[in-house]
Structure 1
Amino acid sequence: MPGRKRQAARNDGVILDAAREVFLADPKAPVSAVAERAGVGISALYRRYPGKEDLLRTLCLEGLRRYNTEAETALLVADGDDGAGTGWTAFVRFLQNVIEADVHSLTTQLAGTFTPTDELAAEAVRAGQLVTELLEKARESGLLRAGVVVADVGLIQECCAAIRHPDPERTRQLRRRYLALLIDGLTVGGGSLPGPPPKDGEFAWRWQRR
């Protein structure tokens, strides 16, 4: 890219990284805090994002796209010819990669703070479809515990995303630890799960503008 476009792209990446850090700490923070963290002028930020909602939507859209990319990659693994258990391996790898990418922390933190767009809704629908496919692949492997539904997957990921420590490396260690415990709970051999499973759309209320 020409120098000016390259600089603009770099600034955009810096702004989004800063916004992620700022809004994870405080979803009510002003955009001026993002500009300060990014080390750019407020006018440079507003040229890219006319308002705070535009910035929040972009962050969530990027997170959803990353989530869907991880799911698509896992499905390619599940469709491979590596033998029995591939569907389960792909499902576990998907969970691990999504937790490492930390896409759920920001999504759940920002839910209800802006009005979703049709583009966001389409990505969310796509996410549900991909996880449904992954769950079926895991079930076909014979290693998935009975009674696990698609909505369980999202809540498991949220449980791990809720683990936060001042030291980022310690956060990663603890998330890996508890994800391993949760994966064991997803594995065949356990008893009947208590209570009814979460329904599709049961937590959609969180996206209603507060």
Structure 2
Amino acid sequence: MTKALSGRQAQAARNDEVILAAARAVFIADPGAPIAAVAEQAGVGISALYRRYASKEELLRKLCTDGLARYIAESEKALADDRDPWTAFEAFLHALVDADTNSLTQRLAGTFTPTPELFEAAVRAGELNQAVYERTKEHLRPGIVVEDFAMILEQITSIKLGDEARTNQLRHRYLTLVLEAMRRSGEQPGGGPELPGPPPSSGELTDRWRV
């Protein structure tokens, strides 16, 4: 049974959620923004923010740690999904679009020094990604590899138009179109035209996180 938080602890937890939500909004819009912009967005004093996060770098690491944890959770959920592999794969990508973890990947890569724990989480996420791919690959058009997933999600989550609800609606619209393009078709010889250029290598993806 989960122990209930005291009034002070509950308030601290709520404040932390507000700070992290503000940090996501500020740093996705401008990774170079000062930490004072996060305090202003969150409606807290800069001293209160520094009591929770000693530096901008620490705050950036927290955002990415949480993002990776969400990605890992969604990956594990997809692998436990007992529906047919394609249905589970579609649900997995739509859940990742809702989680919006790839917006962090796009904007924060290379802006801070990752910790060994973050690298370990990234390795775990990569292992789960590979497992999802292995489960789904017979339904994917030829030429698609696991490294393509990150690039596809980054393209989808780069869409921003109107308010948050409209942005989310458009992201799911275009993800649906992309999923149709990714799916193997028995009506096209070889599964469709050859894809131009090689996919990104794991090294190319990892190098973006080096400061």
Q: Quick check: TM above 0.5?
A: yes
Structure 2: gaps (5+ residues):
186-190
Structural RMSD (CA): 1.2
Counterparts of 1:109-120 in structure 2, within 5 Å, are 109-120=107-118
Show the counterpart of 1:168: 164
Deviates more, 1:175-184 or 1:162-171: 162-171
Provide Cα deviations, 1:73-109, integer angstroms capped at 9, x if missing partner: 01000xx2x5xxx111111111110011111112210
CA distance in 1, matches of 2:56, 2:67: 17
The equivalent of 1:16 in structure 2 is 20
Contact 1:149 1:197 in 2 (8 A): yes
Query: Is 1:201 matched up with 2:203?
Result: yes
Deviation per residue, 1:49-70 (Å, 9 max, x gap): 0000000010011011101100
- In the TM superposition, structure 1's runs of 4+ consecutive aligned residues that sit over 3 Å from their partners are none
Question: Following TM superposition, by how much is the alpha carbon of 1:195 offset from its aligned partner in structure 2, in angstroms?
Answer: 2.3
In the TM superposition, 1:75-154 aligns within 5 A as: 75-77=79-81, 80=82, 82=83, 86-139=84-137, 142-154=138-150
Query: Is this contact kept in 2: 1:128–1:150, CA < 8 A?
Result: no
The whole-number CA distance in structure 2 between the counterparts of 1:114 and 1:57 is 7
Q: CA deviation at 1:154?
A: 0.6
Query: Which amino acid letter does the alignment assign opposite residue 182 of structure 2?
Result: L
Residue 156 (structure 1) aligned to one of 130, 152, 159 = 152
Where does residue 175 of structure 2 map in the other structure?
179
TM-score (norm 2): 0.91
Identity over aligned residues, as a percent?
A: 55
- Matched residue, 1:48: 52
Distance 1:195 1:103 in 2: 26
Aligned residues: 201
1:26 aligned partner, one-letter code: D
CA distance in 2, matches of 1:188, 1:51: 47
8 A Cα contact 1:100 1:172, kept in partner? yes
Partner of 2:188: none
Distance in 1 between the 2:173 and 2:159 partners? 11
The Cα shift of 1:19 comes to: 0.6
- Taking the aligned partners of 1:10 and 1:72, their CA distance within structure 2 comes to 27
The superposition leaves residues 159-193 of structure 1 with CA deviations (integer Å, 9 ceiling, x where unpaired) of 10111124212211211111111101110023232
